[in-house]
Chain A
């Protein structure tokens, strides 16, 4: 496989603070790669190092096989869509798009042709003469991307460009970006703290926390098979129990939670006898299961019904006061449930995953 970006053992320190801590990964040509993490996890620093605005403390950045150390940002074959877009307000749309081509001394006629072609491609034909402040949020977005793509970069870096849009437009732009990437075939590296953006658009997602990559994988892998407690907690909603592993039987463990419920669950590599954490997705829970064979079950009281269409949930509490979310399928089978109702919840041992409890790093 061909890689557009290879990063090995990359470190960035600000004083004594390690913003990026020994990160290595590859991005295959033509893929949509996202870096997902909470704010302050080092993802912006990482992106700025790739773009050349920060110099790494150590490690190596290779773009299309070329080491980028010492190459200034204006000479790197990457372009960046800025968080607040950074469209030049003193120029019109066409001048913004032509800016990079002009710097490359491309002949005027060709600049005009490529600018118009690009505008067409992002769905803004005839917008060339408009001023930046005349555009809507989504249109600005597309101009910012067009301005980069017209230069045929090896990599297009996107720094949370959807953050400033309102919810509805953001949903729409997600789909549009994904379609655009498929159409142009440029490698996209997208950083975001919004897991839904990362999951919907990406071929591969890297989850970043405290300067390190926790897990790199497809969106499905991250959701179904998180490798660390952080990924389990950060990607998608999860219920969480603290407890103690009492027995290990191959890929299954027997865990006694702190409120003395005993469950069987899937074992993660490092789980062994001793303190552990159990994660369980809301949709893995079955309300009042008919046959309880092989299921973990426990009683709970409904505290509130959180109606949200297809994403509706029950907020329940166990007898010892632990709050849990359970998916509430909208198939009318559970219409009788009211707040205060006592129900039984069951789940398959394969759905819950158990990690050894680690001391949180400071």
Chain B
């Protein structure tokens, strides 16, 4: 049954096989993607034609590698900018929200808390379209009443940032709140008692205590934003983010450049993930 109880050999082995198959299932698509990024063939498929770095380095005219592919490079830069903005914005507001919900008592707190959780149950597609609609309505309103055309209300970089921010902040709030709940309230009183101002207490004591959680949440927010597809799909303007750009390429047929981009993504996110795991371990 469990480790401490006697088990039959068959039981153990069938379990081990299952887990092995499971992990094979888990990693097969990623592994294949990575390997085929180095295949010297014009299609991301077998047979193996030999090793090449063309899909990263080639500069044309037959093959254009990732590092010379302006469109993909631009999309990567856009995604970086978006993710940076979203992670900063959502960590700031999410931290404010967790302070608000964990430390303050006020009327309608329950309603506000429910609203804060709402993005968890709203599908990303819906978030995308409702924000597109609202931005459009607001744009039309400003245009008609004041005669001013506001760029932000049209599908654009900032609309994507706002759209992603609206649900990623919920995740940040939940992560930071969980850590804040473990905070010993008397530490704040002690700091106050030793002469710190209320703002000083938050800065020197509470935020310092929360730092690992905030850094971790910020990293997750960055990743979520970098990889978001559903919400972004409706809000994206003339600057596609990397997932949108990849999607368009995959839909229209594939070249090993997509594998190259995927490989970079896999390596990048794995590194970020490992760093994050390391920091959360250290925090505990």
Partners in one complex: yes
Interface, chain A (partner B; CB < 8 A):
51, 53, 72-75, 78-80, 82-84, 86-90, 99-100, 103-104, 147-148, 151
Knowing A82-B189, A88-B191, the reply to whether A74 touches B184 (Cβ < 8 A) is: no
Knowing A73-B193, A79-B193, the reply to whether A103 touches B200 (Cβ < 8 A) is: yes
How far apart are the CA atoms of A72 and B192 in the complex, in Å?
A: 9
Number of residues from B at the complex interface, CB < 8 A: 18
Chain B 169-203 against A: per-residue CB contact (8 Å), 1 yes, 0 no?
00000000000000010110111111111101000
Cβ of A195 to closest chain B Cβ, rounded Å: 25
Determine whether B16 belongs to the interface, using a CB cutoff of 8 Å to chain A.
Answer: no
Report the stretch among B62-70, B134-142, B204-212 that lies at the interface: B204-212
Which chain B positions have C-beta within 8 A of A75?
A: 195
Q: B195: which of A51, A74, A90 is its contact (CB, 8 Å)?
A: A74
Interface pair A74/B197, CB less than 8 Å apart:
yes
Interface pair A99/B186, CB less than 8 Å apart:
no
Interface pair B192/A73, CB less than 8 Å apart:
yes
Knowing A90-B209, A99-B204, A103-B200, the reply to whether A84 touches B195 (Cβ < 8 A) is: no
Q: A84: which of B184, B192, B197 is its contact (CB, 8 Å)?
A: B184
Cβ of B185 to closest chain A Cβ, rounded Å: 9
Q: A103: which of B187, B194, B208 is its contact (CB, 8 Å)?
A: B194
Knowing A53-B189, A84-B186, A103-B200, the reply to whether A90 touches B208 (Cβ < 8 A) is: yes
**Chain B minimum-CB-distance residue to A79:** B193
Q: Is the interface of A mostly helix, strand, loop or mixed?
A: mixed
Interface, chain B (partner A; CB < 8 A):
184, 186-187, 189-198, 200, 204-205, 208-209
Interface pair A103/B195, CB less than 8 Å apart:
yes
Interface pair A86/B195, CB less than 8 Å apart:
no
Knowing A99-B204, A103-B200, the reply to whether A86 touches B192 (Cβ < 8 A) is: no
**Chain B minimum-CB-distance residue to A76:** B193
Sample of 10 A–B contacts (CB below 8 Å): A51-B193, A79-B193, A80-B189, A80-B193, A86-B187, A86-B189, A88-B187, A100-B195, A100-B196, A103-B196
Cβ of B34 to closest chain A Cβ, rounded Å: 41
Interface pair B186/A74, CB less than 8 Å apart:
no
Cβ of B148 to closest chain A Cβ, rounded Å: 46
How far apart are the CA atoms of A82 and B194 in the complex, in Å?
A: 12
**Chain A minimum-CB-distance residue to B201:** A74
Interface pair B194/A148, CB less than 8 Å apart:
yes
Cβ of A186 to closest chain B Cβ, rounded Å: 15
Which chain A positions have C-beta within 8 A of B198?
A: 74
Which chain A positions have C-beta within 8 A of B194?
A: 74, 79, 99-100, 103, 147-148, 151
